[in-house]
Amino acid sequence: MGEQNYFSAIYGHQAAIELLIQAVELQRLAPAYLFHGPAGIGKALVARCWVEMQLCAQLTHPEQVAANQQKIRQGNHPDLLWIAPTYTHQGKMLSASEAAAAGIKKKAPPQIRIDQIRQITQFLSQPPLTADRAIVVIEQAETMAEGAANALLKTLEEPGAATLILLTDHMALLLPTLISRCQRIPFRRLSGADLAKILMGLERSDILQDEILVALAQGSPGRSIELGEDLAAIDSEIKAALLQPITNIAAALGWAKLIDKEVDSFSQLALLEYLQFHYWQQRQDAQVVEAIETSRRQLLSYVQPRLVWECLLLTMVNEKNG
């Protein structure tokens, strides 16, 4: 099956895709690959397409290929194990989406846990059932604690008839010994044209019409959509008011109270990022930009949001009157 059948939905990343296709066609698959690059640019999508290519390589009938692809996409192919960071709740591991669906809120981010690495070891202890090789994909590999990473190292020493694919947004957070055991595949930010094609295909022309959102995305479709959704949850009156310097103390305190009451924490962070770019690009206001950055760090450190916004907006009042 050709490249167009598996990677036709991908924009950009041609150098990476060509390397991956050649590895399959020449039967020169390494035991482990490390897909590294910025968040939201399509590493997981390329991994899924490549998994389909590998697990369908020996199939000759289109019906068999379609059935195999459906199993892969539904997460029930017997020779594929896809691992994502999890939370622990009442003795169970939950993915971020499962935790959100259950209404479980966690302060710490999800992690790849040692029990998940043991799951990989058990999975690879059995020979593949339908394909030549079993495949394991690990999303956000940088979230592995040291114990989990060391356990994975032992698996990489003797993976058997398997290929492991590690995806990371922050390669520097991985153990150097883990990186050294993988063939590295770099992923770059998408061009403006490719970003536009993806967003148009997803019917997100609203993002393309916002110059600040496009600039903040920096070639990352996932980032642009995430920011766009977080900002869309904010009342347009709040956004419009904050794009102008606050003129008096009463207004500053009023807006701070409203933001604390009406805007969730993720949208507050997105709003700060949006405002920071606006005040630098449109007004070259270094003092406000620095105050916004301080506010962002405070929210990430769980400082009370209303206090954070009061300090920021009062700073904007003082800067305006100064």
Question: From CA 85, how far away is CA 76, in angstroms rounded?
Answer: 18
CATH code for position 182: 3.40.50.300
Q: Give the residue among 315, 311, 317, 321 at the shortest CA–CA distance from 256.
A: 311
Report how many helices (DSSP H) and strands (DSSP E) the chain contains, helices first: 17, 7
Show the domain range for 238.
192-321
> Does residue 311 share a domain with residue 256?
yes
Q: What's the domain count of the chain?
A: 2
Res 91 pLDDT > 80: no
Mark whether 296 and 221 lie in a shared domain.
yes
Statement to judge: residues 156 and 209 lie in one domain:
no
Residues 211 and 275 in one domain: yes
Domain-ending residue, one of 126, 152, 186: 186
Q: Looking at the predicted structure, is the pLDDT value of residue 193 above 60?
A: yes
Q: Mean pLDDT throughout 290-319?
A: 91
Q: What helix, strand, coil percent values describe the chain, rounded to 5?
A: 60, 10, 30
204 shares its domain with 315: yes
Average pLDDT, the chain: 89
Regarding whether 291 and 180 lie in a shared domain, the answer is: no
Instruction: Please check whether residues 116 and 88 belong to one and the same domain.
Output: yes
Last residue within a domain, chosen from 137, 167, 186: 186
Q: Whole-model pTM? A: 0.79
Residues 179 and 238 in one domain: no
Q: pLDDT tier at 161 (50, 70, 90 boundaries)?
A: confident
DSSP state of 171: G
Mean pLDDT over 98-113 rounds to 75
Residues 179 and 234 reside in one and the same domain: no
- What is the C-alpha to C-alpha distance for residues 118 and 132, in angstroms, rounded to an integer? 22
Q: Which of 171, 186, 201 is the last residue of a domain?
A: 186
Query: 34 pLDDT exceeds 60?
Result: yes
